Structure 1
């Protein structure tokens, strides 16, 4: 575990340190497209954040290759080389799209080429694990098709949710954490060495996302762009492929002693049967809904719009940060709930817990106007939007009826707040409250 923590820290640190220079490079290179109608940000923001993430990936792999236990992953297979090849192609395609824009069909072709290169180097589905039956072999052609489809679907699922500050990076990080727990348990809990590459890939993903999120949370200073989102989707797909088709259910059965326990342990694999889609079910659902919606309207499935799940959260009244946190909540609930169900022998407790959390999530989802307030004891340590407001003094209530210069207020103008600065205070207010009017930050006549 210490080696994984070291790789995670190095990956996150390099990604974090590179993001600042990459932001300056993106501004100098002109990778700051104007704000489009479907965008939610108000100012042009540089892209190309995937460059920093790719640098963090290379640094993490370099560190892992020098460690005693993790170096075995490099010598026992070609998964790392295949990952770098596919990620490099996907990253280069994303950089071109972030700077000059790439046609949707050309982008789809590039995604298939990146997936094909990885399949050619050995990252492919060989068998499908079926409890009670054992591994069901698939032909090389079938394995290639399944693997390419998995990569393309996962890449576009992550790319589709990259619409709010910190949304794609945070959700992929949550999915990678859940997948790390699952694959780590298979490797060290059941001594299945074929799960080792998936553990390393998950750690690299977590480090890349954490390092970049420090610059990408709202308000974002830089976007990951397609160079980052497509690479994250590819890595998540590679982690799934490296486990799916290599884990023999009979090995776990021999360890647990019953088929029922094996069923619970293999939930993230055999329910989707192709890959543990449960760890990214929310982006996948958004992808499917977008394809159906656009096809039904006679548009291209790759035509951009402003009707994704996160856009709908903003439309019903949630703030930017609140919409992102809601998406985080549901992604974590699905991903970690699936992993928890695979760990326990009986799913009743897990199901009841998930049902309770779902109820809490629905309440929060349906109350967009509610804003949590921190206790007074910790208000100094939280952002201003979570602090309790003090009662508005009477001087402000009187001033709200008056204009800033003593005339009648404009009915169409918004009501002043305690934080508004009135440069001149009306004489009536001064006579009633005297120097006390300065207590809320107003400046009477004749005072400096």
Structure 2
């Protein structure tokens, strides 16, 4: 556990210290575009924060190889032939390059999508991939040489775009991904206590690095943000989050899970719970845009965070509400699994989580309606007309 903590601290420190230099570089090359109609910030803010995050990731991965326990997990021959670090750096480097060019000069959505597929293909090539899918009844679906890379690319690309779609408020993407990484880390550590297996330890290592990247970047990115991560950072942390989800889902066959009461549900439910908020936003955005005859990648102001702002919440309140929802759902899924609580409790908790989110939004709605009613009342208009 101490090695994971040290890994997180090193990654966070490197990321944090690199941000000022990256910010100066972004301003020097003009990577601080003018404010657009759909933006919620009011002054031009430099992008390219993902460059600092990539530096933190690379430093964390290289540092991890020198740690006895974590290093053995990342260099195990059962994971990508011992080349998992190389796979992550190559895939992350490709996404960082594509994101840098997009944040600086602009790039079409199709080119970015092809780059995401290529990065996911690199992971699959090095066997950092989804190997099987657990099913109820102690069964698993083993993936052949065609399905393994195909599903790996699908999971990685969907996760990248889910994170990218939700990156619309200061600190939102970094915070939610950090929360998801913490939940996945907690579950992977619990599994590693029960079954010693290198892939589950790799999941913990990747999550520790991802947590460090988010923690190191958030002080510069929380409202009011001094720098944005841009597509450079959003795609990078999306790739790492997706990597943690595919490795924890196929860490070992479902029959090995014997220490909780619904273990066969968790490997499928945990990835969904971790990205439930960005995934929901992604699905709603695609439906909304295609039904209006627009491209699924066309920008708009219909995201969840935009709606929270529109009903009266401040920038920080909107971010904290979404933090709370993500933390509640992801932590409950992990907590119920480790505690062996029936699945029905999870369903009821999910309903309660939606209720909490609604209640947190309601005061603002009631206040706005009260003001509108007050402004429309005859007494108010008469009073305002008195000189």
Normalization by structure 2: what TM-score? 0.89
Correspondence for 2:49: 49
Correspondence for 1:2: 2
Correspondence for 1:102: 107
Correspondence for 1:289: 284
Correspondence for 2:265: 267
Q: CA 1:328/1:228 → structure 2, altered by over 3 Å: closer, same or farther? A: same
Q: What SS does the aligned partner of 1:57 have? A: helix
Q: Mark the runs of 5 or more structure 1 residues left unpaired by the alignment.
A: 372-410, 413-448
Cα shift at 1:128: 1.3
Whether the aligned pair in 2 keeps the contact of 1:159 and 1:233 (CA below 8 Å) is: yes
Structure 2 CA distance for aligned equivalents of residues 142 and 135 of structure 1: 14
Matched, 1:182 2:218: no
Deviates more, 1:190-199 or 1:223-232: 190-199
Correspondence for 2:32: 32
Matched, 1:337 2:332: yes
Aligned residues: 363
Cα shift at 1:191: 2.4
Correspondence for 2:132: 127
Cα shift at 1:265: 2.7
Q: CA 1:351/1:344 → structure 2, altered by over 3 Å: closer, same or farther? A: farther
Structure ID, larger Rg: 1
Correspondence for 2:299: 304
Q: What SS does the aligned partner of 1:368 have? A: helix
Correspondence for 1:93: 98
Structure 2 CA distance for aligned equivalents of residues 335 and 265 of structure 1: 15
Matched, 1:364 2:369: no
Q: CA 1:30/1:364 → structure 2, altered by over 3 Å: closer, same or farther? A: same
Q: CA 1:359/1:296 → structure 2, altered by over 3 Å: closer, same or farther? A: closer
Whether the aligned pair in 2 keeps the contact of 1:267 and 1:338 (CA below 8 Å) is: no
Whether the aligned pair in 2 keeps the contact of 1:126 and 1:140 (CA below 8 Å) is: no
Q: 1:251-292 CA deviation, whole Å, 9 max, x = no partner?
A: 123xx4xxxx45x23433134xxx712111010000000001
Whether the aligned pair in 1 keeps the contact of 2:26 and 2:47 (CA below 8 Å) is: yes
Q: CA 1:308/1:349 → structure 2, altered by over 3 Å: closer, same or farther? A: closer
Cα shift at 1:70: 1.1
Ranked by relative contact order (alpha carbons within 8 Å, sequence separation 6 or more), the top structure is: 2
Matched, 1:136 2:134: no
Cα shift at 1:98: 0.5
Normalization by structure 1: what TM-score? 0.77
Structure 1 CA distance for aligned equivalents of residues 96 and 37 of structure 2: 26
Structure 2 CA distance for aligned equivalents of residues 72 and 152 of structure 1: 28
Cα shift at 1:369: 7.0
- Counterpart of 2:123 (choices 78, 101, 118) is 118
Q: CA 1:144/1:353 → structure 2, altered by over 3 Å: closer, same or farther? A: closer
Correspondence for 1:444: none
Structure 1 CA distance for aligned equivalents of residues 347 and 283 of structure 2: 26
User: RMSD between aligned alpha carbons?
Assistant: 2.0
Structure 1 CA distance for aligned equivalents of residues 365 and 182 of structure 2: 31
Correspondence for 2:213: 208
Correspondence for 1:390: none
Cα shift at 1:204: 0.5
Q: 1:86-136 CA deviation, whole Å, 9 max, x = no partner?
A: 111111110000100110111111111111111111112221122424332
Whether the aligned pair in 2 keeps the contact of 1:94 and 1:226 (CA below 8 Å) is: yes
Deviates more, 1:28-37 or 1:117-126: 117-126
Structure 1 CA distance for aligned equivalents of residues 351 and 131 of structure 2: 36
Whether the aligned pair in 1 keeps the contact of 2:26 and 2:48 (CA below 8 Å) is: yes
Q: Mark the runs of 5 or more structure 2 residues left unpaired by the alignment.
A: 368-383
Structure 1 CA distance for aligned equivalents of residues 186 and 250 of structure 2: 19
Cα shift at 1:370: 9.2
Alignment of 1:170-249 (within 5 A): 170-249=175-254
Correspondence for 1:250: 255
Correspondence for 2:22: 22
Q: 1:31-80 CA deviation, whole Å, 9 max, x = no partner?
A: 00100010000000000000110111111112211111111023313322
Runs of 4+ in structure 1 displaced over 3 angstroms? 347-361
Structure 1 CA distance for aligned equivalents of residues 365 and 280 of structure 2: 26
Structure 1 CA distance for aligned equivalents of residues 298 and 359 of structure 2: 33
